Structures are given as C-alpha cells and as structure tokens.
Amino acid sequence: MSIEARNVTKRFGSFVAVDDVSLVFPGGELTALLGPSGSGKTSLLRIIAGLERADAGQVLFEGEDATGRDVRQRGVGFVFQHYALFRHMTVFDNIAFGLRVRPRARRPGAPEIRAKVMDLLKLVQLDWLANRYPSELSGGQRQRVALARALAVEPKLLLLDEPFGSLDAKVRLELRRWLRRLHDEIKLTSVFVTHDQEEALEVSDRVVVMNKGHVEQVGSPQEVFDQPKTSFVMNFLGQVNAVKGGYVRPHEFELARSADAPEGSWAEVRHIHMAGAVVKLELVDEAKNVLLVEMSRDRADALAPRVGERLFAWPRRLRSFEAATV
C-alpha cells in the first residue's frame, strides 16, 4: 500500500516538530526516516500511524484520505522502540492479542489463532519461546515478538519507531539484517525511524533525511550518500572534512610525499589507527585544521605513513553547496 503525506504540520506549543512536509512512500518499499533527535521523524511516523493528530495537512493511504481515521481502523502495524509488550501475557498471548480483540464476526477461532501465532513465531524464529513471559526474554527477542505481534493483524503498512534503538551493538547489526531479509520475504510497505545513518543506508530501499521538521533529501541509500543535496545531508551521512572550497569525505582524500596536485595542502600526521580493514589517519594542516583520512590497508601499507611526518593531502572529490549552512 502506498502512503502519502501532504503538507503535514505538527506543533508542540511553539516548537514546530513537522513543518509542511510532503512525502510519498511507494508500496512494497522499506523506507528509512533518518534524522537527528528533534528532526520530526518520530512525529511524522506517529501521524502516519494515527497515534498523533497533524495540525494541518493530510495523510493518504492508497490515494484515499485517512487523516481523520482512528488508529484502530488504519490497519497499521506499529513497533515501538521499547517494545511495549504486555508484561502480564505470554509471548503467545501477546501475538494473539490483535486477533482476539476483533469483533466476534471477524474473530478467527482458537485453532486458527493458534496456527497463525505459531506461524509468526516461526517467522521470527522464536517458536520455542511461546509460553515465556516478556520479562524472561532478551532485548532482541522482545523486539522480534513485538514485530510478530504487529504482523499478526496482517497490516497493510508496518511502522517501526527506532526498532533497534535500545539494543546493544552486535544484536542491532544482526536484527537489522534479519529485518531486511524479512522485508524481502513479505514485501510489506514499511517505514522505520532511525538516527543511525549506517542503519538507514544498510537496511532501506529509500532514505528520507529529515532535519528541523523539514525533508532535506529523498533518495536511494547510494544517492543520498554519493550525491548529498545539502551540507546537512553531507554532514549527517558520515564523517566530513570541511576544507577551503567545500567538503571532503575521509576516504576521498589522497596522501603523498610530494605535492602533485593543484589543490591540497601539506599536513602533519598526528595519529594512525591501524586496527581494522580501513586505516584511519588524523592530520593537522598548516591552518591548524584537523583532517580525517581513511584508506585501505593495502594503500596504507604501500605508503607506510609515520606519526610526525609531513604529507601532501589533496581531495579526489570536493563537494560544495550553495548557501551552505552547517
């Protein structure tokens, strides 16, 4: 199901959380709403879900106005950052909840509910935990139960609010790859909110970068990373060096022992971080600016930089933005 937000505005007192945002989420895609805290991404998600009312603007589901539709009638699966599992119910009862609260005419019988819940538990690979209580599960397991619970009502749209936000680093990584695979399997229109650019770039089909209630850029992960439209997007999507004439990403710097480029400057090596596949260097140029440079292990081995040494640094690629405001 495709979703459209038209001129949506949301204020909290004098703070404008979402400022006249218009967006289209194509059906079947996994979209990331990416931005720093206070950028309005969660408010926008909650307005789409019907958990929050927009002060102005419309929300359309499949071209149909759903602005005034109650959250109960929207057919939206919502996954909360802190899972919001019902603690007094077992995992099974949590997932069955959405089916059991249906009006009698549409409520499946107990055997169908059972079959459906067990299918979902298999889908999230937790069928062995059906009779546990949420307090007995790990964070990653809880989030998968929350996802299964949201999917149980067969929503036309899945919304996830910082779904990996309260998990530790390793579980985060596993779970987001798993979410990507799951999405490829079930092809449900999904929107997830995150402040982690790596997560957004890795998981989603499309990224919506938000800042201060506005949409800065919409595009595929590669588009927003390689062709950022604004200095904000450039800065938010990765490490950036601000140099004379524009911005350079650390991996787009070239280092050499001789000045063989027109642009560039001499800089002294301060630190070398050799651990990992990518070698990270910190240099200080003549204007006392710190330059962050990344290069492959092979290139670093060939160059063999030493701390204290002076090297010539020039950008292979320099981006500048009109009316740049950092």
Partner 1 sequence: MSSVVLKRHSVLPGFGLTVGYTLLYLSLIVLLPLSTLAFKSSSLGFDAFWTTVSSARVVASYKLTFGASLAAATINAFFGLIVAWVLARYTFPGRRLVDAIVDLPFALPTAVAGIALTTLYSENGWLGAPLARMGVKVAFTPLGITLALTFIGLPFVVRTLQPVIDELDPELEEAAASLGASRAQTLFRVVLPALLPAWLTGFALAFARCLGEYGSVVFIAGNMPMRTEITPLLIITKLEQYDYPGATAIAVVMLVASFVLLLGINLLQSWSGRRLAA
Quote the least distance from Cβ 91 to partner 1, whole Å: 12
Query: Is residue 140 close enough to count as binding partner 1 by CB under 8 A?
Result: no
Outline where DSSP puts E strands in 167-213. Answer: 190-194, 206-211
Q: Which of 133, 178, 312, 321 binds partner 1 (CB under 8 A)?
A: 133
Residue found by looking up tokens 């062995």 in the block: 128
Report CA dihedral (51, 53, 59, 62) to the nearest 10 degrees: 30
Query: Is residue 1 close enough to count as binding partner 1 by CB under 8 A?
Result: no
Q: Which stretch binds partner 1 (CB under 8 A): 6-14, 54-62, 97-105, 258-266?
A: 97-105
Quote the least distance from Cβ 74 to partner 1, whole Å: 8
Query: Is residue 102 close enough to count as binding partner 1 by CB under 8 A?
Result: yes
Outline where DSSP puts E strands in the chain. Answer: 3-12, 15-25, 30-34, 56-61, 64-65, 76-79, 157-161, 190-194, 206-211, 214-219, 241-243, 246-248, 253-256, 265-273, 278-285, 290-296, 310-315
Which residue, 1 or 173, has its beta carbon nearer to partner 1?
1
Tokens of 239: 């490490």
Q: How far is Cα 84 from Cα 142, in angstroms, rounded to an integer?
A: 9
Q: Which of 63, 64, 65, 101 binds partner 1 (CB under 8 A)?
A: 101
Interacting residues with partner 1 between 191 and 250 (CB under 8 A): none
Residue found by looking up tokens 């249906």 in the block: 102
Query: Is residue 318 close enough to count as binding partner 1 by CB under 8 A?
Result: no
Quote the least distance from Cβ 127 to partner 1, whole Å: 21
Query: Is residue 41 close enough to count as binding partner 1 by CB under 8 A?
Result: no
242 near 301, Cβ under 8 Å?
no
Which residue, 154 or 301, has its beta carbon nearer to partner 1?
154
Which residue, 153 or 318, has its beta carbon nearer to partner 1?
153
Q: Which of 200, 280, 191 has the alpha carbon at shortest distance from 233?
A: 200
Measured CA to CA in angstroms, residue 168 lies from 84, 109, 163, 208 at distances of 18, 39, 12, 25
Measured CA to CA in angstroms, residue 66 lies from 4, 46, 53, 73 at distances of 10, 13, 11, 9
Interacting residues with partner 1 between 72 and 91 (CB under 8 A): 72, 74, 76-78, 80, 82, 84-88
Which residue, 52 or 285, has its beta carbon nearer to partner 1?
52
Q: How far is Cα 114 from Cα 95, in angstroms, rounded to an integer?
A: 10
Query: Is residue 149 close enough to count as binding partner 1 by CB under 8 A?
Result: yes
Quote the least distance from Cβ 320 to partner 1, whole Å: 44
Which residue, 80 or 225, has its beta carbon nearer to partner 1?
80
Which residue, 70 or 184, has its beta carbon nearer to partner 1?
70
Quote the least distance from Cβ 99 to partner 1, whole Å: 9
Residue found by looking up tokens 């405001």 in the block: 325
State the chain's maximal CA–CA distance in angstroms: 79
Q: Which of 32, 49, 59, 209 binds partner 1 (CB under 8 A)?
A: 49
Q: Which of 71, 186, 256, 284 binds partner 1 (CB under 8 A)?
A: 71
Which residue, 88 or 187, has its beta carbon nearer to partner 1?
88
The bridge status of strand 76-79 relative to strand 157-161 is parallel
List residues binding partner 1 (CB under 8 A).
49-51, 70-72, 74, 76-78, 80, 82, 84-88, 97-98, 101-102, 133, 135, 149-150, 152-153
